[in-house]
Structure 1
Amino acid sequence: MARANEEVEALLQEYADLIAITGGDAFKARAYEKAARAIGGYHADISTLDAKGLREIPNVGKSIADKVIEYLRSGRVSTVEETRATIPAGVRELITIPTLGPKKAMVLHEELGITSVDQLLDAIHQQQLRDLKGFGEKTEANILHGIALMQKAGGGRILINAAMDVAEQIVAELSRIPGCERCAYAGSLRRMRETIGDIDVLVAAERSAPFMEALGGLPATAEVIAGGEKKMSIRTTKGLQVDLRVLPPSSWGAGLQYFTGSKAHNIRTREIAVRHKLKLSEYGLFDAESGDVITSETEEEIYARLGLPWIPPPLREDRGEIAAGLRDELPDLVTDGDIKGDLHTHTDLTDGLAPLEDMVAAAAARGYAYYAITDHAPNLFMQRMTEEKILAQRERVRGLDRRHHGMRLLHGTELNIGPDGDVDWPEEFLNGFDLCVASVHSYFNQSRQDLTRRLVRACEHPNVTVIGHPTTRLIGKRPGVEADFDAVFEACARTGTALEVNSHPERLDLRDEDILRAKRYGVKFAVNSDAHAITHLPYMRYGVGTAQRGWLTKDDVINTWPLAKLRRFLRKGRP
Structure 2
Amino acid sequence: MARRNEEVEALLGEYADLIAITGGDAFKARAYEKAARAIGGHPADVSGLDADGLMEIPNVGRSIAEKVLEYLRTGKVAAVEERRARIPDGVRELIAIPTLGPKKALRLYEDLHISSVDELTAAIEADALADLKGFGEKTQENILHGIRLLRQAGDRIPVHLALDTAEEVLAELSAVTGCESSAYAGSLRRMRETIGDIDVLVAAGRSAPFMDALVSMPSTAEVIAHGEKKTSIRTHKGVQVDLRVLPPRSWGAGMQYFTGSKAHNIRTRTIAVREGLKLSEYGLFDTRSGKSLASRTEEEVYARLGLPWIPPALREDRGEIEAALRGELPEILTERDIRGDLHTHTDLTDGLASLETMVEAAARRGYAYYAVTDHAPNLYMQRMTDEKILAQRERLRELDGTRRRMRLLHGTELNIGPDGEVDWPGEFLAGFDLCVASLHSHFDQDRRAMTRRLVRACENPYVNVIGHPTTRLIGKRPGVDADWDEVFAACARTGTALEVNAQPDRLDLRDEDILRARRHGVRFAVNTDAHSVLHLAHLRYGVGTAQRGWLTKDDVINTWTLTRLRRFLRKSGRN
TM-score, with structure 2 as normaliser: 0.99
1:255 corresponds to which letter in structure 2? G
Please state whether the residue corresponding to 2:419 is helix, strand or coil: coil
**1:97 aligned residue:** 97
1:173 corresponds to which letter in structure 2? E
After superposition, residues 404-553 of structure 1 pair within 5 angstroms as 404-553=403-552
- Tell me how far 1:2 sits from its aligned partner: 4.9
Distance 2:532 2:404 in 1: 21
Distance 1:341 1:149 in 2: 34
- Tell me how far 1:202 sits from its aligned partner: 0.1
- Tell me how far 1:123 sits from its aligned partner: 2.1
Deviations 1:345-382 (A, max 9, x none): 01111111111111111111111110000001011111
Distance 2:23 2:138 in 1: 24
**1:83 aligned residue:** 83
Deviations 1:429-458 (A, max 9, x none): 000000000011111111111111111111
Distance 2:279 2:301 in 1: 9
**1:133 aligned residue:** 133
- Tell me how far 1:390 sits from its aligned partner: 0.4
- Tell me how far 1:148 sits from its aligned partner: 1.1
**1:318 aligned residue:** 317
Distance 1:123 1:317 in 2: 39
Please state whether the residue corresponding to 1:132 is helix, strand or coil: coil
1:548 corresponds to which letter in structure 2? Q
2:74 corresponds to which letter in structure 1? S
After superposition, residues 10-159 of structure 1 pair within 5 angstroms as 10-154=10-154, 156-159=155-158
**2:331 aligned residue:** 332
Distance 1:270 1:331 in 2: 23
**1:204 aligned residue:** 203
**2:291 aligned residue:** 292
Please state whether the residue corresponding to 2:130 is helix, strand or coil: helix
- Tell me how far 1:127 sits from its aligned partner: 2.2
Deviates more, 1:380-389 or 1:126-135: 126-135
Please state whether the residue corresponding to 2:470 is helix, strand or coil: coil
Distance 1:114 1:334 in 2: 49
Distance 1:188 1:111 in 2: 43
Distance 1:515 1:112 in 2: 43
Distance 2:52 2:58 in 1: 12
- Tell me how far 1:145 sits from its aligned partner: 1.4
**1:363 aligned residue:** 362
Please state whether the residue corresponding to 2:410 is helix, strand or coil: strand
Distance 1:333 1:140 in 2: 42
- Tell me how far 1:119 sits from its aligned partner: 1.7
Deviations 1:129-168 (A, max 9, x none): 22223222222222111111111111x1011000000001
Distance 2:209 2:109 in 1: 52
Uncovered stretches (5+) of structure 1, i.e. residues with no partner: none
Distance 1:303 1:375 in 2: 47
Deviations 1:482-536 (A, max 9, x none): 1011111111111111110000001111111111111111111000000011110
**1:251 aligned residue:** 250
**1:165 aligned residue:** 164
2:123 corresponds to which letter in structure 1? A
Distance 1:136 1:333 in 2: 46
2:287 aligned with 1:307, yes or no?
Answer: no
Distance 1:45 1:259 in 2: 34
1:260 corresponds to which letter in structure 2? T
Distance 1:306 1:126 in 2: 56
Deviations 1:315-367 (A, max 9, x none): 00001111111111100111000000000001111111111111111111111
Please state whether the residue corresponding to 1:104 is helix, strand or coil: helix
Distance 1:316 1:135 in 2: 43
Uncovered stretches (5+) of structure 2, i.e. residues with no partner: none
The Cα RMSD (Å) is: 0.9
Distance 1:562 1:3 in 2: 37
Distance 2:151 2:100 in 1: 14
Distance 2:560 2:513 in 1: 22
**4+ runs of 1 displaced by more than 3 Å?**
none
Deviations 1:456-481 (A, max 9, x none): 11111100010101111110011111
**2:379 aligned residue:** 380
TM-score, with structure 1 as normaliser: 0.99
Please state whether the residue corresponding to 1:291 is helix, strand or coil: coil
Please state whether the residue corresponding to 1:451 is helix, strand or coil: helix
Distance 2:402 2:89 in 1: 54
Please state whether the residue corresponding to 1:459 is helix, strand or coil: helix
Distance 1:133 1:507 in 2: 32
Deviations 1:533-555 (A, max 9, x none): 11100000000011111111101
Distance 1:112 1:491 in 2: 47
Please state whether the residue corresponding to 1:309 is helix, strand or coil: coil
- Tell me how far 1:128 sits from its aligned partner: 2.4
1:367 corresponds to which letter in structure 2? G
**2:191 aligned residue:** 192
After superposition, residues 266-281 of structure 1 pair within 5 angstroms as 266-281=265-280
1:46 corresponds to which letter in structure 2? V
- Tell me how far 1:49 sits from its aligned partner: 0.5
Distance 2:47 2:99 in 1: 33
Distance 1:278 1:141 in 2: 52
**1:232 aligned residue:** 231
Distance 1:221 1:324 in 2: 42
